[in-house]
Structure 1
Amino acid sequence: MKMNYTYQRVLIFFLCLLTGPDLLAQSPPADREITANQSPYLLLDRGLQFRVTKSINSMYNFDFETAERDFGVLSYQYPSHPLPDFLMALSYWWRIEVDVTNEKYDEIFLAYIDRANEKAERMYDEDETNKEAAFFLAAGYGFQGRLLSERKSWTRAAWAGKNALKYMELSRGEEEFNPELLLGDALYNYFSVWIPENYPLLKPVMVLFGKGDKELGIEQLEYVASNAFYTRIEAMYFLFRLYASEEKKPYEALRISEYLHDKFPNNPYFHRSYARHLYSVGRWSESVEQSEEILRRIDRGQTGYESTSGRYAAFYLAQFHERVGDQVEAKRYYLKTLSYGEESESQESGYYLHSLVQLGQIAVKENKKSEAKEYFKRVKKYAKRKHPAHQAARNFIKKNKL
């Protein structure tokens, strides 16, 4: 699905995500010797990387209790360093990521980001050549801007984005950080071209920035996804989204989402993305298997599995049953899609609108014209006039004289 940001949100998204900082749960090779820290930077301490691998794995796999207990130990060991607070913020960010409409975790996420930023700023004030401090400030302000842009707090988001860009530039020059910092360059190269292509009104604004290169941006993302320690997962996250929507490479999107789901099987965002990409390439039986499992996990109340994931899964199941001619089951799952969509107040989402259209068509087949008319009225209520669902509803109403 095409990214449906308003043009303001796209700009803020672009400004704030250039850093794309994320800590990867990737174990060092088994034969790597863990030596004493040879760098003045904690992030480059191989021993620490080895120790926090399990904790970060737990975080990505939505075992927040284990992860945060370990992050608490780090906070005790390194009370003046931004790393423990940043990791705690990242843990809450993933709670937000699965359903960005839920503001339950905003306050605690921003509190941890603020604490990490304050510590990084003290480090930077003491030594303006400290690349690690600048790295954390770019990371902290970048994530802060991401959330504020979701909440349409444009002024604060713009301020955070400006700071993220400032500190990203200041963090350059440390060769060991290069794979991590390359993610910022990759996103810049891609989105500085993508934004004016998709939002012509922003072309005059984008003139203020250097010219990018979309193909180079994708190459850089692939490099980061293969070589970085700290930003590898974030690079993968952007790659499968871009491959699925903008680049029209569904099999590449599936390749990455399958890897992420295999590595972090309890991460609901990766799980539903995997089910979606299976559906997109026509691997129906596997998509059905994953979708049914998602719904079971929602019913069990498993951490992170909620209405957004349910909306995805129910829609894929409805499509499958419609495809094999089981109208009863198709109708049941389309109704589930509506229920999950209403729970998350996502009535303008494509899956919700398409489910209304399909239910309207099923009602006509069942000779329930008044019921069909109600479904199509809801489509016209929630969909913009140019939306394909709105057009389908108008055409169906006209053809069937509803």
Structure 2
Amino acid sequence: MKPLLIAALACALRSWAVQPETDKLILQGLDAAYSLDFERATSLFTEADRLEPEHPVGPFFLASLLWLEYSQNADIPGAADSLQPRFDRIMGQALARAWKMHEKNREDPEANFYLGACYGMKGRWLMLERKWIRAAHYGFKGYKYLQRTVELDPEYNDAYLGMGMYDYYSDTLPAVVRMAADMIVRGDKQRGLRYIERTLEKGHYSVTEAKLFQVGILSSYEHQPEKALPILLELRRQKPENLFFVLLEQGTRINARDWSGAIAFGEFLAPRVRALPYTQPQTSLFDLYLGESYLCAGDLPRAVEVFDRCIEEAPDGRKATVTHCHLRRAQALDLLGRRAEARHDYTFVTERPDFFDSRAKARRGLKAPATREEILHQLGMP
């Protein structure tokens, strides 16, 4: 059968494809979401839902937006308390609509895709809560429906991202995740990377998400931040006003040991990050990255100044970034020979909620002054 005819038949199977206006609203909403403009994204996704009252697309993206909002504040104790009930309710609406579609036509790729996407998003929410076994359960449940999607329509390219995420995470993350995945089905890291690459090349709604996922794994898990930078530069070229991409580039430059670039980049853009209402909540993260750039570059007095600002002007003092600013300030003070001040910060960190082993690192700092080698190791640099 000719490829064009196969593609036409696959599209015909999508009995619930959304209207062009809905598609436009979803793409605009995703742009707003990745700019952290949650208010505008909510408005656009809500309008898409109004146009498609029986399709899961509206509630799915509204629930995904709550996940993104939670992911930006998962380091605040109790951050999920106000978001969880809304997420459960809206995701429940998306699932109910997807199941209704599926009951009408089990061979509909669109119905299978949204079932897979919804269960996968529930798994990602549970990952933020570090509930690994339940996350793996929902991840695999979503994987099966996404797998069925591409069996029915191999060109449904957005489905490959969710499959790739499951394959990669279940073969890479901590032992407890792998154990949970082994109870269900173990993923395949290399296959996951191939699936993600396919979405990058051919996806529709999921292209930016695939790029951001690739940036994250290259920088944090594969230890190849230099390969992540070109992806971020391309994203910023396409959306120069997007300050979320700026935050990611700042962290990636540090991981790539481009400290002078991170400093120049950070100082130039700091006023913009602080000025916009939808990026202002993340200024403590931006200051943490900027302070770490100065710390790694050896400009210790300036590093202390930036960490001071991070702590004193943080929009929410409960965030883990504030804890880590205290930790990094203590280490900078150690390198400056200001041991008594450093000990004060280390003690403060031990009394805060533990974020990414912050307490253990602070206890080590109380036992012995930090060294440059130790700091670089903690930042994930060999």
Conserved? CA contact 2:329–2:342, under 8 Å:
no
Using the alignment, how far apart are the partners of 2:138 and 2:345 within structure 1?
43
Aligned residue number for residue 359 of structure 1 = 333
Using the alignment, how far apart are the partners of 1:349 and 1:221 within structure 2?
34
* Alpha-carbon spacing, 1:372–1:38, altered in 2? closer, same or farther (3 Å): closer
Q: Aligned pair 1:377/2:380, yes or no?
A: no
* Alpha-carbon spacing, 1:66–1:299, altered in 2? closer, same or farther (3 Å): closer
Conserved? CA contact 2:349–2:358, under 8 Å:
no
Structure 1 gap ranges (5+): 1-36, 398-402
* Alpha-carbon spacing, 1:349–1:133, altered in 2? closer, same or farther (3 Å): farther
Partner residue of 2:191 out of 176, 194, 216? 216
Alignment of 1:284-303 (within 5 A): 284-292=259-267, 295-297=270-272, 299-303=274-278
1:276-297 C-alpha deviation (Å, 9 max, x unpaired): 1123334344423443366434
Conserved? CA contact 2:285–2:321, under 8 Å:
no
Aligned residue number for residue 7 of structure 1 = none
Moved more, 150-159 or 265-274: 150-159
Aligned residue number for residue 317 of structure 1 = 290
1:132-158 C-alpha deviation (Å, 9 max, x unpaired): 112112211221232244345678756
Q: Aligned pair 1:91/2:69, yes or no?
A: no
Q: SS of the counterpart of 2:369?
A: helix
Aligned amino acid, residue 225 of structure 2: P
* Alpha-carbon spacing, 1:344–1:236, altered in 2? closer, same or farther (3 Å): farther
Using the alignment, how far apart are the partners of 1:161 and 1:325 within structure 2?
43
Q: Aligned pair 1:245/2:181, yes or no?
A: no
Q: TM-score, normalised to structure 2's length?
A: 0.76
Q: SS of the counterpart of 1:248?
A: coil
Aligned residue number for residue 120 of structure 1 = 98
* Alpha-carbon spacing, 1:259–1:203, altered in 2? closer, same or farther (3 Å): closer
Partner residue of 2:247 out of 257, 272, 275? 272
Using the alignment, how far apart are the partners of 2:358 and 2:57 within structure 1?
48
Partner residue of 2:210 out of 224, 235, 240? 235
Aligned residue number for residue 28 of structure 1 = none
Moved more, 103-112 or 238-247: 103-112
Moved more, 377-386 or 71-80: 377-386
Conserved? CA contact 2:14–2:110, under 8 Å:
no
Conserved? CA contact 1:318–1:333, under 8 Å:
yes
Q: Aligned pair 1:131/2:123, yes or no?
A: no
Aligned residue number for residue 395 of structure 1 = 368
By how many angstroms is 1:338 displaced?
4.0
1:173-206 C-alpha deviation (Å, 9 max, x unpaired): 22254422222332343233324xx42x666554
Alignment of 1:87-236 (within 5 A): 87-100=61-74, 101=76, 102-103=79-80, 104-151=82-129, 160-161=138-139, 163-195=141-173, 198-199=174-175, 205-210=180-185, 212-236=187-211
Q: Aligned pair 1:79/2:79, yes or no?
A: no
Count of aligned positions: 353
Aligned residue number for residue 335 of structure 1 = 308
By how many angstroms is 1:240 displaced?
0.9
Q: SS of the counterpart of 1:105?
A: helix
By how many angstroms is 1:319 displaced?
4.0
Higher RCO (C-alpha under 8 Å, 6+ residues apart): 1
Using the alignment, how far apart are the partners of 2:263 and 2:177 within structure 1?
41
By how many angstroms is 1:160 displaced?
4.1
Aligned-pair identity (%): 20
Using the alignment, how far apart are the partners of 2:318 and 2:243 within structure 1?
15
Using the alignment, how far apart are the partners of 1:324 and 1:188 within structure 2?
37
Higher helix share: 2
Q: SS of the counterpart of 1:79?
A: coil
1:38-90 C-alpha deviation (Å, 9 max, x unpaired): 56444476675456534433333344454444434433332111112222223
1:227-282 C-alpha deviation (Å, 9 max, x unpaired): 21132222212211110021111111112222333434455543211111123334
1:73-117 C-alpha deviation (Å, 9 max, x unpaired): 433332111112222223333333322233343333332222111
Aligned residue number for residue 53 of structure 1 = 27
Using the alignment, how far apart are the partners of 1:220 and 1:166 within structure 2?
15
1:347-387 C-alpha deviation (Å, 9 max, x unpaired): 7965542332223443x34xxx5434323434555675995
Using the alignment, how far apart are the partners of 2:265 and 2:218 within structure 1?
21
Using the alignment, how far apart are the partners of 2:154 and 2:335 within structure 1?
59
Conserved? CA contact 2:291–2:303, under 8 Å:
yes
Q: Aligned pair 1:256/2:244, yes or no?
A: no
By how many angstroms is 1:303 displaced?
0.8
Conserved? CA contact 2:25–2:47, under 8 Å:
no
Moved more, 79-88 or 98-107: 98-107
